[in-house]
């Protein structure tokens, strides 16, 4: 069970980082100015990885022209029956972008599919077009992050719909077996 415990601890750290960054953005959006030092939002006894992840996000905002518009925004498409919560919506170099925080050690295609679904839902709900989606991988070791721009969100969303169709077919087959 050691692997399960380590995975769960890493997940707890990721959740804590996510919560700190969310609070940072909420305060910035509400007050119209950013908190000068994100560390004030973290309990002093917190794990060092929480500090590193939060400082990674803070550094991203300090070094780029980013203005947060929303955080933890529920989006959906009632016609497709999908919904989710996007991590942040921001003006990045005056372009509207959707972003998703990641603290896992690896960032894969499945995350691109997820964020492209958020983009679709946001655009469906609002009629606004975004200029892109990105994954922000926050380091839990030092104040650095990696940005992954999703080059073809339309293709990624098509993959999302394909996966959803396969899932629906499997569920229908299992339901048929049970009757």
74-121: pLDDT as tens digits: 999 999 999 999 999 999 999 999 999 999 887 877 889 999 999 999
**Inter-residue contact 59 to 68 (CB < 8 Å):** no
179 or 27: whose pLDDT is higher?
A: 27
* Model pLDDT for residues 132-144, shown as the tens digit of each residue: 999 999 999 988 9
Instruction: Please provide residue 55's backbone torsions phi and psi, each rounded to the nearest 5 degrees.
Output: -65, -30
Distance between CA atoms of 99 and 103, rounded to whole angstroms? 13
Q: What pLDDT score was predicted for residue 178?
A: 59
Q: Give this prediction's pTM.
A: 0.85
Tokens 């919904």 correspond to what residue? 83
Residue-level pLDDT at 171: 82
User: Mean pLDDT, the chain, as a whole number?
Assistant: 91
Kindly tell me if the per-residue pLDDT of 43 is higher than 80: yes
Structure-block tokens of residue 26: 């909420």
Q: Give the pLDDT band of residue 73 (cuts 50, 70, 90).
A: very high
Q: Which residue has the tokens 């969303």?
A: 157
Q: How far apart are CA 125 and CA 29, in angstroms?
A: 21
Whole-number Å distance between alpha carbons of 111 and 116: 8
Bigger pLDDT: 98 vs 173: 98
Instruction: Give the model's pLDDT for residue 78.
Output: 95
């Amino acid at each position: 069970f050691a692997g399960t415990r380590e995975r769960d601890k890493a997940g707890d750290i990721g959740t804590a980082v996510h919560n700190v960054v969310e609070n940072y953005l909420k305060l910035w959006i509400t007050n119209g100015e950013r908190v000068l030092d994100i560390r004030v939002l973290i309990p002093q006894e917190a794990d060092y990885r929480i500090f590193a992840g939060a400082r990674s996000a803070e550094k991203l905002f300090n070094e780029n022209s980013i203005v947060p518009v929303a955080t933890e925004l529920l989006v959906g498409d009632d016609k497709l029956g999908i919904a989710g919560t996007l991590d942040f919506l921001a003006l990045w170099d005056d372009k509207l972008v959707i972003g998703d925080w990641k603290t896992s050690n690896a960032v894969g295609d499945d995350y691109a599919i997820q964020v492209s679904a958020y983009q679709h839902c946001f655009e469906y709900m609002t009629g606004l077009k975004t200029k892109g989606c990105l994954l922000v991988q926050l380091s839990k070791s030092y104040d650095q992050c990696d940005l992954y721009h999703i080059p073809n969100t339309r293709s990624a969303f098509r993959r999302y719909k394909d996966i959803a169709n396969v899932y629906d077919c499997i569920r229908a087959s299992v339901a048929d077996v049970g009757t």
